[in-house]
Chains A and B, each alone.
Chain A
Amino acid sequence: MSFDDDYKRAVLEPARAVGDQPPEDLRVRYALPVELTPAGVTAQVKEVRQCWRRSRGQLKYRKLIDRLEAEHRALAPVFSAAETGDLGPLNKRLRGGAERNAQRRAEVRNRLLDAAGPLRLLSPADLDAIGRAGGLSRAELQQLARMDGVDVRDPDPLPPGPPYPGYPKARESLQVLGSRHLLAFLLGSDRINGIRIFGQVTAGGIPIDGTGATRALERVAGDWARRPRDTSATHAETILIALRSAVRDGFLQELLRFDFVARLRERRAQRASDNALMDLAVRDLGLDLPEARRLVFAIGHEAGMSAGPAGRLRELLDNGQAHTAALLAENITDEDAAEPAAEARRRVAAAARLLDEALELTGRNDLDGAWLRLDDALKLAADLPGAHEHQRRLPPLPPAGVRAEPQDGAVRVSWTDSPSTAGELTHQVIRRTGRPPHDSGDGHHVPGGLDPEPPVNVPLYYAVVARRGEATSEPAAVGPLLVRPEPGQVELAAGDGTVTGRWSCPAGAARVAVLRDGGAVQAGREGFTDRGVRNGLTHHYRIAAVYLDVLGGEVLTPGVLVSVTPNALPDPVTAFSVEPEARDRLLLRFADPRHGVPEALLLDRDPPWPTGTIVPLHEVLAGATRIESAPHAQGLVIRPAGSGVLLLLTVAGDRAAIGAHQRHVDLPSPGGLVVQRRGGTVHVGFGWPGDAASVAVTFQIGDQGAKRISVSRAAYTADGGVHLQAPESAPVKIGVSGIAEHGGSVLTGPAVSATVSARTVVRYDVQPSGPLWRRTLVLTLTSDKPVLLRRLDLVVRDGRVMPQRPGDGETLVTWEDFDLQDSAVLKVPLPRRSGPYWLRCFASSDVELSDPPVRRLQVS
């Protein structure tokens, strides 16, 4: 055997077998010897390339040789180095060959898993294609598939169309009744699972044979027969007819199987994934898991229409062109086309019967019945001659209860829809003047039933027609109707002894009539001025449009009713003063205006109108806040809720006279002023006044001049109030007011004040004195100024508890009307008592006694 033969057998043929994939191992590709020498490698490569050139003459090797040559160009540097004696690159390349093989194997494995998808199923053809593309042999691929749990099998053949022509109707009825599928309907339960459809159809392991199916069918039919007749029963009957035909003609298995296939095909056509189809098959349809895999796999491998006449017939049938298919089938003798040809003939025959029925019903004027028959016929054979044309000419029944009502110059038409139920119905409104419309084209089309601009003061007729396809019903008409709009944009304004009005006169009206309290008022076409009114009285006006009828007589519309009260113009308040009235209230003092009611407003900024301007009230109120107020003999007492500009208005009717204004900072007087004398300190507390930044505390101690301190809110909180140092012997007058800065000036709010009266403090001390056998108690009294003590008691109490008042112990001595000049020393015998006791002095209420340290008072 020559080198070429050996090389072809060992290298080229295996490479061809795996899709013209050159071997990765260079030792194999170039038939290199085990021991590599530069000269040996060069000679061997030369020999192999000559073999390639010779083999390329054979067509079967051409593609492979071209790839080998292309890859050799990339390997040229490796062999050039070997030729010069450097085998390093070649050895390195040889070592990498195994890695590349492993990589390629991994790539093929990924492709295989991708192709198998979640079903883990692969057809032999797909397996071969992957092998060719990846350069692996079939044996290797099958080994990989086994490793990954991928089954290799041919897809099961599936029925191309339904074995029963009325399957689509039966399917519709199943959907209406909410039944999962035909088998579920037959077995009377939607809960069946584990259904197998390939070979014998079984449910939960029980085969659905002819006998069983007949029994099941009788039971289901009996169940439905016991129910009242309604639309559900009609749908059930449709399904039962299909099942009975299938049992009778022996294609029940095929029909049940096709029902599953059709449902999955529909979902596949909607681009559902394999997982979604599996979910549908197992969870929704109750198929056995392996069966579901096979079914989804087979549906996934359906490659469109079969070729040839059979395929063409199937295509026509699927497009609904059964009549064309039947005609085509007459000239086809192909065996494969027998089944679609028979189906085409069946569908045409059924459609023709339905057409005949439709014609008969048309003759009996049952147009809806005829329309439904034709609809069924067109579903079977959309190209059935004459069916479509006849259906288009079947008009629906006319609508009823048509009404037309004027609405603000427009006309709204309402009606009850046509009683026809067959087909898609629309309704159309037509308007015509003078007489009712004869048909849908006789008049002006009114979209949506609302005629926005109907002709004025002419008799109008409206008609409604029902439309189905190209056919329209008889018109249902209403009329005549006269549209006479009222005057628009009516505005009446009351002035001082005057009322003026304006409006827009509707087109078509002869004039506008104005009636005040029933009597006519002279008016123009666009307005009037009425000076015959009295201030303070409310007048009721009717503004009506006047139209001329066909005889030239005047006809008044009901008119627009408006009531107005003329008033004298309000007098502005040109000046006012602000005084605090209570803690959070202010008195606005001003002279009462002659006309109008004063009202206070709070604005963010100065008013844009000068004082005295008369403006509509709503215009002033738009940018202002009304202030809660109460009338006062001198003006108004108000309670402003914040800071801003106080504006005084005078209001009369809907007009207001702009009065004076003043800036106002919400500085109410501080509330809850508490002043407490705590020895030499006066504690001051108060509620923080409104928006005050700080508070001014003014205090006057005795005859000294008044002092003023400013207290911020933070300081007040930190110190827990204000603490003033003041001797007890002097009265303290305290005033507190809020302070705020506004527009660069310091504003001071109303003050609250309180006075702490002076106290006459008399300090005393007690001390035992004298020899032990004649102990005395020395009582020392001191005062800052001479004072008359109306009563002074020295009290003793036994025990550990200090007396609090004279009655708590025994009064040792009482002095009455004691005139104390600066200081005095009094002596009394020390009481002879055992155990601890307390001594304490008490004075009448006009004097404040200051105790010495308690250890002086406590005798142990």
Chain B
Amino acid sequence: MRPITCPYCFARVQRGDIAYRCIGRAGRGPGCDPVLDKQLAEYAGTQAGAMLPPVFEGRGPRAQCPICHRESGRRVCPECHHELAPAYCDTPGRIVALVGAKNAGKSTYIAVLLHELRNRVGTELETSLVACDDRTIERYKRDFARPLFDQHRLLPTTPSAVTAPREPLVYLLTRTLRGRFRTRSEALTLVLFDTAGEDLRSREVRDLHLKYLEAADAIIFLADPLELTAGASDSEPLDVLARVTEPLRQKYGLGVQDRLKVPIAVALTKIDALPLPRQSAMHRSRTRSGSLDVDDREAVDAQVRALLHEWGSGDLDRYLEQHYAEHALFGLSALGGVPRDGQVGPGGVRPYRVEDPLLWLLHLFGMLDG
């Protein structure tokens, strides 16, 4: 069986090496007392919440604690001791990483994409989206859903990981595929790790980010089209993309002619603010058929490529062509309108084509017909 990747510390773990955490003592009954889990505390950067029953080795869906002899089904990563969802251990799926320059709208994209996967897109594709841990549920509600959808406030700029350690949001997107002879489920692990390109310059966080990118089965790269013409030194999408690509090339020891095999979806955000040509495919909604509309996909790809060249950013397209075997261009709008004074526009959040990159990846992974 192929090893799985811990979606928290991104260590690759053989299935047989997955550890267990004792279920501990219930009331006055038998069971192990909590102890300080140093690995978990080191991963989390704090001892808060790290006083837990001990971790032990075992096999199978449940294993017996060698100390208190109680059976436990709580599986944890043997490296960081973070709890792994049973569904993830059984069907580890694929990891999709999210990268983007500062102010590209990553947090907003995360919030809206998850909202769409739970609602319109989820209904269309017949998928279920489940958070893999309590922290993810809590953080999504507190930091994303409540301010954006309930209070209609724009999300604040995410602080650099150098100053504020980050945890990924980990979701399991499961789709039931009905074939002619049998029905099967495919899972996709969405590990949404808010990686700002500039963070890759910091030695402290580069290692974790690189592990994240190395573990990814696909990358969604967000770019603010307004930055493409502004030419800001830190946030120019090509520079950020290069900062992501070069360490990966070095890691895999690729030659000049070789291209990275990991597919990358490059999406221009905030397209609602752009004056698009009349005949643009991006003026039309995607047909909601539960499959990938390849014609639409190709039309949008060609349209965005044309826009890049028109804005003098054709080098981004050429860079993708040279370094990535699989790449595609997208245009989307998470809010659907221009925000004002820190507030979402009067019509609320009206996402447009935010799911397109994910549909393309699902199609590549064989989870979606085209």
Contacts and interface: CB of A to CB of B under 8 A. Distances in A.
B279 A802 contact: no
Most buried by A among B280, B349, B350, B351: B350
A686 interface: yes
B60 interface: no
B351 A720 contact: yes
Nearest to B116: A720
A717 B120 contact: no
A319 to B, nearest CB: 66
Interface in B205-231: none
B149 A851 contact: no
A685 B283 contact: no
B345 A854 contact: no
A51 B134 CA distance: 87
A688 B348 contact: yes
Interface stretch (A34-42, A174-182, A300-308, A673-681): A673-681
B289 interface: no
B232 to A, nearest CB: 25
A721 B347 contact: yes
Contacts of A854: 295, 298-299, 301-302
Interface in A811-860: 842, 845, 848-849, 851, 853-855, 858
Nearest to A721: B350
Nearest to A797: B306
Which of A716, A802, A805, A858 has the largest count of B CB atoms less than 10 A from its CB?
A: A802
B92 interface: no
B66 to A, nearest CB: 45
B279 A685 contact: no
A19 interface: no
B305 interface: yes
A801 B306 contact: yes
Counting chain A CB atoms within 10 Å of each CB, which of B283, B302, B337 scores highest? B302
Q: Which of A673, A685, A717, A720: most chain B Cβ within 10 A?
A: A720
Contacts of A845: 278
Interface in A670-699: 671-674, 678-681, 683, 685-688
What is the size category of the interface that chain B forms with chain A?
A: 35 or more
B341 interface: no
B310 A804 contact: yes
Contacts of A855: 298
Max chain B C-beta neighbours (<10 A), residue from A679, A804, A805: A804
A114 interface: no
Contacts of B116: 720
Interface string A693-737: 000000000000000000000001111110100000000000000
Interface string B333-357: 0001100000001111111100000
Nearest to B119: A718
A678 B303 contact: no
Given A672-B346, A685-B348, A721-B347, A678 B284 contact: yes
Contact of A853 (B115, B295, B352): B295
Given A678-B283, A685-B336, A720-B120, A853 B298 contact: yes
Contact of B349 (A674, A681, A717, A800): A717
B97 interface: no
Contacts of A803: 306
Contacts of B345: 672, 674, 685
**Which of the four size classes fits the interface of chain A?**
35 or more
Contacts of A842: 279
A805 B277 contact: yes
A845 B279 CA distance: 10
A719 B118 CA distance: 10
Contacts of A849: 279
Given A804-B310, A854-B298, A685 B277 contact: no
Contacts of A808: 306
B347 A802 contact: no
A385 B335 CA distance: 102
B302 A802 contact: yes
A57 B307 CA distance: 130
A804 B294 CA distance: 20
Contacts of A853: 294-295, 298-299
A720 B336 contact: yes
B307 to A, nearest CB: 8
Contacts of A683: 285, 336, 350, 352
A804 B284 contact: no
A801 B310 CA distance: 9
Interface in B244-296: 277-281, 283-285, 294-295
Contact of A685 (B295, B307, B310, B350): B350
Contacts of B298: 853-855
A749 to B, nearest CB: 16
A599 B216 CA distance: 67
A420 to B, nearest CB: 70
Interface string B175-205: 0000000000000000000000000000000
Contacts of A671: 346
A842 B279 CA distance: 8
Given A672-B346, A672-B347, A802 B303 contact: yes
B347 A685 contact: yes
Contacts of A718: 119-120
A851 B277 contact: no
Nearest to B299: A854
A721 B149 CA distance: 12
Nearest to B296: A853
A800 B346 contact: no
B16 interface: no
B159 interface: no
A679 B349 contact: no
B284 A720 contact: no
A681 B120 CA distance: 15
Given A678-B285, A679-B285, A849-B279, A802 B305 contact: yes
Interface in A775-819: 800-805, 808
B366 interface: no
B61 interface: no
B165 interface: no
Q: Which of B116, B294, B306 has the most CB of A within 10 A?
A: B306
A841 to B, nearest CB: 9
Nearest to A799: B309
B255 to A, nearest CB: 24
A681 B115 CA distance: 21
A681 B347 CA distance: 17
B34 interface: no
Interface string B80-120: 00000000000000000000000000000000000110011
B314 interface: yes
B350 A679 contact: no
Contacts of B278: 845, 848
B337 A679 contact: no
Nearest to A681: B285
A804 B302 CA distance: 10
Contacts of B306: 801-804, 808
A842 B278 CA distance: 10
A680 B285 contact: yes
A848 B281 CA distance: 12
Given A686-B347, A716-B348, A801-B305, A851 B337 contact: no
The 5 closest A-B pairs by CB, nearest first: A685-B347, A672-B346, A679-B284, A687-B346, A678-B285
18 contacts: A671-B346, A672-B347, A674-B337, A674-B350, A680-B284, A681-B285, A683-B285, A685-B336, A685-B337, A687-B346, A688-B348, A717-B149, A719-B120, A720-B116, A720-B349, A720-B351, A721-B347, A802-B306
Interface of B: 115-116, 119-120, 149, 277-281, 283-285, 294-295, 298-299, 301-303, 305-307, 309-310, 314, 336-337, 345-352
Given A672-B346, A680-B285, A805-B277, 19 more contacts: A671-B346, A678-B283, A679-B283, A683-B285, A685-B337, A686-B347, A718-B119, A720-B115, A720-B116, A720-B119, A720-B336, A723-B285, A800-B305, A804-B279, A804-B303, A849-B279, A854-B301, A854-B302, A855-B298
